[in-house]
Amino acid sequence: MKVIPTVSQFSNAVRSAARPLGLVPTMGFLHAGHMSLVDRARADNATLAASIFVNPAQFGPKEDFATYPRDMESDLAKLEDAGVDLVFTPSLEEMYPEEFDTYVEVSHLTERLEGEARPGHFRGVATVVCKLLAIAWPDRAYFGQKDAQQCLVVKKLNADLNLRAEIVVVPTVREADGLALSSRNSYLDSEERKAATVLYRALSLAQDLGTSNATEIRERIRALIEAEPLAEIDYVSVADAETLDELDEVSGPALVSLAVRIGGTRLIDNVTLEFA
């Protein structure tokens, strides 16, 4: 496995690599969710590339960029074990030199949910993904369904800017009690960890209710989460799974998504819902 910290060396390496090439972009602190992307990409491609870069552009000024968990040594060991060929580990300066001044903006899709709660977040995501797709020029790039809105934004910019990667969305990996894996779960103490199961319990309820009335689904989810003293709802959404427009009635595929604060930690999760 080659670990490459510069844009120019990584670009050269991918350009002489066997094709197809799959890219798994990550912010590191890898867990089984990331590794499911890696395993899927390993199976699909002749060359497997990953990137580890905590992207400051997608964090708000009051968010956790400085404290976001990092463990490069452990990450590299996991990637090597999983058969990764090339790892891109750029410095901040390498990705955003002092005179950096160009941003990729996706409209509409980014105006709700995470975009509304975290102004500038998707501008940062879209910009770094555009850069990573240009640098790694992958045939396929892999993203986790846990960040459902991010997956839609990445598909949009990839199509609109003609970057020609196939964007592969991989199912969310969960703990035995349903909690979606997230690097931010490491912020939770044991009491918060128990309370955090409320997200998946709420999403499961939405799937079990058997109603297509989106207002009722949102209300029942809210009631369930509000019964958990450590949880504070940021949003509860039942939206069209493609456009993210909020629904009155679930007819086509819908995305049920949540952002909930457990103590000081903001967690997100989602499931899709469809009535045949």
Catalytic positions: 34
Which listed residue (80, 81, 105, 245) binds a copy of itself by CB under 8 A? 105
Which listed residue (157, 238, 256, 262) binds a copy of itself by CB under 8 A? 157
Nearer to a copy of itself, 2 or 108 (CB): 108
Under the binding rule (CB under 8 A), the answer on residue 100 touching a copy of itself is: yes
Which has the closest alpha carbon to 110: 172, 155, 52? Answer: 155
Under the binding rule (CB under 8 A), the answer on residue 11 touching a copy of itself is: yes
Burial class (CB in 10 A: 0-12, 13-18, 19+), 3: middle
Is residue 202 a contact partner of residue 225, using CB atoms and an 8 Å limit? yes
Q: Minimum distance from CB of 156 to a copy of itself (Å)? A: 6
Nearer to a copy of itself, 67 or 107 (CB): 107
Q: Minimum distance from CB of 137 to a copy of itself (Å)? A: 8
Give the x-and-dash track for 187-216 against a copy of itself (CB under 8 A).
Answer: ------------------------------
Main-chain phi, psi angles of 164, to 5 degrees? 65, 15
Distance CA(67)–CA(229), nearest Å, equals 26
Burial class (CB in 10 A: 0-12, 13-18, 19+), 177: exposed
Distance of CA 242 to the CA centre of its chain: 16
Under the binding rule (CB under 8 A), the answer on residue 7 touching a copy of itself is: yes
Which has the closest alpha carbon to 142: 34, 32, 59? Answer: 34
Which listed residue (48, 104, 173, 217) binds a copy of itself by CB under 8 A? 104
Taking CB under 8 A as the binding criterion, the range among 38-46, 158-166, 169-177, 244-252 that sits at the site for a copy of itself is: 158-166
Which listed residue (66, 73, 98, 107) binds a copy of itself by CB under 8 A? 107
Query: 3-class SS at 31?
Result: coil
Query: 3-class SS at 157?
Result: helix
22 phi-psi bin (left φ>0, alpha ψ -120 to 50, beta other): beta
Give the x-and-dash track for 117-146 against a copy of itself (CB under 8 A).
Answer: ---------xx--xx--xx-----------
Under the binding rule (CB under 8 A), the answer on residue 151 touching a copy of itself is: no
Token output for 136: 């790694």
Please report the beta strands in 118-243, taking only residues with DSSP state E, as ranges in sequence order: 140-144, 166-170, 231-240
Under the binding rule (CB under 8 A), the answer on residue 106 touching a copy of itself is: yes
Question: Could you tell me how many residues of this chain bind a copy of itself (CB under 8 A)?
Answer: 25
Which listed residue (16, 101, 190, 276) binds a copy of itself by CB under 8 A? 101
Contacting positions for a copy of itself (CB under 8 A): 7, 11, 100-109, 126-127, 130-131, 134-135, 156-157, 160-164
